[in-house]
Amino acid sequence: MSIKAYEIVPAIERSKLIGDKAKTAIECMESCGKNLYIGTTDCFIIHFLLEEKSQPNGKIMYNSEQQSRKYLGLKKPIVQLKAASALNRILVLCDSTLTLLTMFNLEPILSGAKVKGVTAFSINETPLGNNPFSVEICVAYGRKKSLQLFTVTEDRMVATREVAVAEPPVNMCIDGASICVALGSQYNMVNFETGVTQDLFPYENETTKPLIKRVGNEEFLLSGPSALGMFVTSAGISQRPPLQWSDNLSSVCFVFPYVLAMDEEFITVHSILDQQQKQTIPFQGGKIIGDFEGRIFVASSKEIYSLISVPFEKQIQDLLDSRRVEEALALAKSARRTIPKERFIKMYRRIQQQAGFIQLRQLNFGEAAELFKSGQLDVRELINLFPFMLPTNSNFTRSVPLLHDIADVKQLCLGDAGKMKACKDFLASFLEDVRDTNLVVGYKEEVDTALLKLYAEIDSPKLVDFVSSENGCFIQDSVDSLQKYGRHHALGLFHKYHGDNEKALQVWVSIVNGELTDPSHPGLSFVVEFLSQLTDHELVWRYVDWALEKDQEQGVKIFTQRPADEPQTERMRPETIVDYLHRYPQAVVCYLEHLVFTRKLEKEKYHTHLAVLYLDKVLQMRKDPSIPTDEMERSREKLRQMLQFSSLYRVALILGKVKETDMYAECAILYGKKEEHDKALRILVYKLKDYRAAEQYCDTNAKGHDLPYRRRLFQILLSVYLDPMEGGKDSLAAPAVQLLNNHAEDFDAVRVLQIIPAHWSIGLIQQFLNRAVRQSMHNQRTTRVERMLARGENLQMKGTSVGLKREPITLSEERYCQVCCRPFSDNAFARYPNGLVTHVQCARNKYVCPITGRLFSTKPAKK
C-alpha cells in the first residue's frame, strides 16, 4: 500500500562536489547542523555549508557552499566520519586509524590523539557517563578481536573498558551498555557492564552485508537472512515483526516511523507501525543513506541528495483520500512524538472525524460511532447529513475545510430504502449514546430535536418516554413533526411536558372522540388519570362532564384518584363534588364509596347517602323481574356489608324503608344496630330459618365487646331457639344443641341448665356439659396458679425489703448531705434506693432522686 512519504531533491551539485576528478568518489558522509562533511575514496574530507530554502510552491531547495577541503595524505578511503558537536570535533576513520580533527578547519589536534587497528566505531547516544563535555564511543578491533569503550574529550581519547569477542568484528553499534556487533557470520549482543555476550542469529556474509542501525532505546535493526530486517532489543528478543526488504542492501537509516533501505537501484520506505513498504524511490548507484538530526541525505558515488519528508498531515490526508483508515490513524498516532501536544490533539481528532465519515460511507456504523466519539465530533456535522433533522432555527454550517464529501444520506444510500433505514437507526443510536455526554454541550436542542424527528418518523416505541421526560427540543419543529407523522398521543405528552396542559387535553380528547387516530393512545383512562393529577382545578372541571358522559365509572376517577397531599380547595370539597354528581347515578355512588371506604370519612350524611343509594338500587331492581338473581344478590350483599360495618348512617331512616319489604336479612342487621338483638335473631331464626347466619350475627356483633356481652348475645339466641310461643315443642332442639356444642365457652352453664327443657336427657347435652366442666376446671386451676405465683412474688419482695432494712448505714461527722452539702446535726436522715443520703427536709419526694432525677415509683408523694 503505497504512500508518498519523502521527496528527493539535490543537495550538492556534482560540479561543486567532485569537479573534474573522475577517480574521486564519495565513500562516507556526516552532517551536523548546517554542516555536511564528505569523505572520499582518495582520502579527502570536504566541508560544505548547506542552507535550506522554501520555494513559493512549498518545495525545499538547498544552497551549498564549500567551506574547507582537507587531504589526509594516506591515499586510503575515508571510511567513517562522526561529528561530536559538543567538542567541536570530528572523528575520522581512515586506514584503520581513528583520529580527531577540528570541525571547522579540519586541522588535526595538537595532542595527536589517535587509535590504530580500528575496524569500525560508534558513538553512544545514551552514554553511561554524565560529563557533558565528553563523548563516549565504542571501537572495534579486527586483529585483536575485541571491543573497547573510549571517552573522547577535545584533545584526548581515553580507553575505559574492553571486551573480547570470538571473531573479528565487522560492524557494530552501541547504545547505553549494550553493543550489537556483527562478526564474520554471526550477530552478537554484548553488555559492557556485565561482560555477557549473547548470540543472536547467523547471517550469510557472502550475500548479506551486515547492517546495524539503532532505532530506539537499546533496540537495533539488523540485516538478516532471506532479505529480512530483524528488530532486536538488548535482551536478545524481538518486539516487532521483521521487515521484508530487497537483497543486496548497501545502507539503511531510521526516522520514526519509517525505515529507509538503499540498494543499487532504489530506496524503499518501510513503516515500523505495520511493517509494510510505503514508498519506492528510484535511485541509481546508491551507496550511502543516513539520518542526521532528523534530516536524511543519500549519496551515490558522485552526487548527494536530500530526502524531504512530506508533512504528516499530507501523508495522513492522502491515506484518508485512499480510504485507508487504519493506516491513517496509525500514522497519526505515531506523529505524537514529533508534534506539540495541543496541535497533535487537534489534528488527531480531526483525522478521527474524517475517518469516521469514511467508515460511515462504507456503512460501518460501529466503527464510525467510535471514531466520532473519540474524535469529539460536533454532532451537528452528522445530523446535517440527514435532511430537515436540524432545527429550523439552527444556523449551522459545515466545517471548513470539509470533513467529508457526502452531500446527504440520500446520496450515500442511492435511494436504497434498507440502507436509509439503517442510517437513520444509526443516527438515533449514536445520538442516544452521546446525549448525556460532553459531546452535546451547547447542542442539546439540535440533538433532542433530531431524536424526536427520527422517533416520530420511524414510529419508535421510545418516542412516548422521550417526549414525557426532560428534553431540549425546539418546540415548533417538534410539534410540526409529530403532527406530520400522526403521533398525536406523543404530541399531547410533548405539550404536557412543556406546561401547556390545555393543548395536551385538546389533543387527547380529539383522539378519544375519534377525531384523531393514534393506536398508541391508552384511551379514556389515560385522560382521566391525567385530570386526576392536574392541579389546575378550573381546567379539570371543563372536562368533567365530557369524561362522565363517556363513562361514569371511569370519569369519577378524576375525583377519586386525586393525590392525598393535594391542598383542599372550594371546588374540590367533597360536598361540592357530591352535589355536582347527582346527575350521574353511577358516579355519585362510586364517589361516596371512595369517601366512606377509602378515605374513611366519618360523616353521617355520606354514610346515610350511600346506604340510601344502595337500598334504592335494590328496591328498584326488585321491581324489575328481568334482573338476574346473581346480580340482585350482589347488590344486596353490598347493601348488607354497608349496613353491617358502618355505624354512622341513620338507622331509623333505613329501617323505616326496609321494614315495608321482605328484606329480612337487612332488617336483622338494622335491629342489631339498634341493640334490639332479640328481634334481629327472631327474624334470622323464624323468618329466614338461617341458623348459621344467626350464629354469625352473634359473632359479628360481639366483636369489640367483653365476654359478658358476648355471652348475652348467645344466651338470647338460645332463648329464641327454646321459645315455645314461636314454634312447636322442641322444633328447634337440633340447632339449639348444635349451638351449645359449638359455643360452649360462650355460655354460662348454670343459666343454660336453668332454661333448657326439663325433659331433655343428659345424653343430648353431654358434649356441652363435658366442655363446660372442662372449661370451668381449667379456669379454676389457672386462677389458683396465678394466685400462688402472686403470693410467691409478694414473699420474695418482702424478703428483699427485710434485707435492705437490716443493712447498716454509717453516718459519721465527716459525712455531708448530698443535696445541701451541710453536715448532719442529728441522727435523723433519709436514704434513697440508689444509696443517696440526705437530710429529711431535703428529701422532698421519696419516689424521685433529688440529684439524678431517677424515678423509683409512680406513686404521688405524700404531703
Give φ, ψ of 356 to 5 degrees: -60, -40
Q: Is the pLDDT reported for residue 862 higher than 70?
A: no
Residue 278's closest CA among 312, 240, 233?
Answer: 312
pLDDT band per the 50, 70, 90 thresholds, residue 96: very high
Answer whether residue 525 is part of any domain.
Answer: no
Note whether 740 and 834 are same-domain residues: no
Q: Pick the last residue of a domain from 270, 290, 310.
A: 310
Regarding whether 817 and 802 lie in a shared domain, the answer is no
Same domain flag for 824 and 724: no
Identify whether 726 is part of a domain.
Answer: yes
With bands split at pLDDT 50, 70 and 90, how would you rate the model's confidence at 859?
low
- Compute φ and ψ for 425, nearest 5 degrees: -65, -40
Asked if the structure places residue 634 within a domain, the reply is no
Average the pLDDT over each of 40-54, 191-205, 261-275, 744-758 and give the range with the smallest value: 744-758
Query: 562 pLDDT exceeds 70?
Result: yes
Q: Indicate whether 729 belongs to any domain.
A: yes
Q: Could you tell me if residue 474 is inside a domain?
A: no
| Residue 678 within a domain | no
Q: Which residues are CB-neighbours of 54 under 8 A, at least 6 positions away?
A: 60, 61
**Which helix (H) or strand (E) element contains residue 800?**
helix 766-806
Range name among 310-314, 436-440, 465-469, 511-515 with the lowest pLDDT average: 310-314
- 164 and 128 housed in the same domain: yes
Of 289, 310, 331, the last residue of a domain is 310
Q: What is the mean pLDDT of residues 95-101?
A: 92
Residues 159 and 215 reside in one and the same domain: yes
Which neighbouring-strand residues pair with 83? Answer: 90
- My answer on whether 144 and 288 are in the same domain is yes
Asked if 402 and 354 count as a contact pair (C-beta separation under 8 A), the reply is: no
Residue 514 lies in a domain: no
The C-alpha cell that represents 583 in the structure block: 346527575
β-bridge mates for residue 102, sequence order: 89
At 780-796, the pLDDT tens digits run 999 999 999 999 999 99
Return the exposure string of 58-89: e unless at least 16 CB atoms fall within 10 Å of the residue's CB, then b: eeeebebeebbebebeeeebbbbbbbbeebeb
Q: pLDDT digits over 204-246, tens only?
A: 888 889 999 999 999 999 998 888 999 999 999 999 999 998 8
Return the CATH number at 859. Answer: 3.30.40
What is the residue whose three cell numbers read 530483524?
Answer: 230
**Do 793 and 841 sit in the same domain of this protein?**
no
**CATH number for 159:** 2.130.10.10
Same domain assignment for residues 101 and 198: yes
Measured CA to CA, the distance from residue 136 to residue 473 in angstroms comes to: 69
Q: What is the 3-state secondary structure (H, E, C) of 656-685?
A: HHHCCCCCHHHHHHHHHHCCCHHHHHHHHH
Q: Are 857 and 732 found together in one domain?
A: no
Mean per-residue pLDDT of the chain: 89
- Annotate 473-507 with b (16+ C-beta within 10 A) or e (fewer): bbeebbbebbeebbbbbbbbbbbbbbeebebbbeb
Using only C-alpha atoms, the chain has a radius of gyration, in whole angstroms, of 55
Q: Where are the beta strands (DSSP E) in 327-434?
A: none
In the numeric block, which cell numbers belong to residue 184?
564474520
Place of cell 557492564: 193
By the 8 A CB rule, do 100 and 113 touch? yes
Query: Could you tell me if 832 and 861 lie in one domain?
Result: yes
Structural domain range at position 231: 6-310
Contacts of residue 37, defined as CB under 8 A and 6 or more positions apart, other chains included, come to: 29, 30, 31, 45, 46, 47, 48, 81, 83, 90
Share of the chain above pLDDT 90, in %: 53
Please report the pLDDT score of residue 863 as a whole number: 44
C-alpha cell at 796: 420474695
Domain count, the chain: 3
- Considering the entire predicted model, what is its pTM? 0.62
- The whole-number pLDDT of residue 21 equals 65
- Pair 160, 277 in one domain: yes
Domain for residue 685, yes or no?
no
Q: Are residues 800 and 833 both part of a single domain?
A: no
The backbone torsions φ and ψ at residue 251, rounded to the nearest 5 degrees and listed phi first, read -165, 155
Chosen domain end from 310, 341, 370: 310
